[in-house]
Amino acid sequence: MSTRTVLHEADIARALTRISHEILESNRGSDDLVLLGIPTRGVTLAHRIGALIEQFGGVPVAVGALDVTMYRDDLHRNPTRAPQPTEIPAGGIDGKVVVLVDDVLFSGRSIRSALDALQAIGRPTAVRLATLVDRGHRELPIRPDFVGKNLPSSREERVNVRLAEIDGADEVTIGS
């Protein structure tokens, strides 16, 4: 089993800086912006992006978490998935631009679940998607608005994102 590192700590920091600038630019600032991370690592990435946007734009950005577990269409195949807390910022999402943040975009099913979960919470003005890694193999017509790295991979390969807050180090690896 061979594993190689495709993003190191500095690469991840650069990608998140770029994503943060792109979000600010496309939203024309941070007004009415809400970042919702998809557990587990998407939440950490959303907080990092929020801190960067605040640093660049000078205004705090609402950051929360959106658990999609109960909206997934594959629970029968993966019943051990434990729900995580959903934390919607105090101002809610109605009339806001919501940026969903996830670590890896693969089939698109987690994002479809996130869209269903959002619908149950409120009505944003727009929904965007930021992902650290886009590995392709989409099963649904979903594509990210903001991408850290496009990483072509085979379906058999596994992409692992490790973040210091959870795993003790920042890196993205791919292996069989």
Domain ranges of the chain: 9-72+84-156
What local confidence, expressed as pLDDT, does residue 75 receive? 66
- Return phi, psi of residue 154, to 5°: -90, 160
Provide mean pLDDT across the span 111-134: 96
Burial of 95 per CB tally in 10 Å (0-12, 13-18, 19+): exposed
What local confidence, expressed as pLDDT, does residue 74 receive? 72
Are the beta carbons of 131 and 102 closer than 8 angstroms? Answer: yes
Q: Is the pLDDT of residue 76 over 70?
A: no
What local confidence, expressed as pLDDT, does residue 1 receive? 65
**Spatial CA neighbour of 68 closest among 129, 146, 10:** 129
**Spatial CA neighbour of 148 closest among 56, 1, 60, 49:** 49
Any idea what DSSP says for residue 76?
Answer: T
Which long-range contacts link 145-150 to residues 24+ away (Cβ below 8 Å)? 145/22, 145/26, 145/99, 146/19, 146/22, 146/23, 146/26, 146/99, 147/19, 147/105, 148/7, 148/12, 148/15, 148/16, 148/18, 148/19, 149/6, 149/7, 149/11, 149/15
- pLDDT tens-digit series, residues 45-68: 999 999 999 999 999 999 999 999
Strand, helix or coil for residue 74:
coil
Beta bridge partners of 159: 174
CB atoms within 10 A of CB 114: 25
CA–CA separation, 11 vs 13, rounded Å? 5
Cis? peptide before 40, omega within 30° of 0: yes
Judged by average pLDDT, the poorest of 77-81, 87-91, 148-152 is: 77-81
Confidence of residue 82 (pLDDT cuts 50, 70, 90): confident
Q: Which pTM does this prediction carry?
A: 0.94
- pLDDT tens-digit series, residues 5-25: 999 999 999 999 999 999 999
Are the beta carbons of 161 and 132 closer than 8 angstroms? Answer: yes
The CATH class of the 9-72+84-156 domain is alpha beta
Confidence of residue 79 (pLDDT cuts 50, 70, 90): low
**pLDDT: which is higher, 84 or 158:** 158
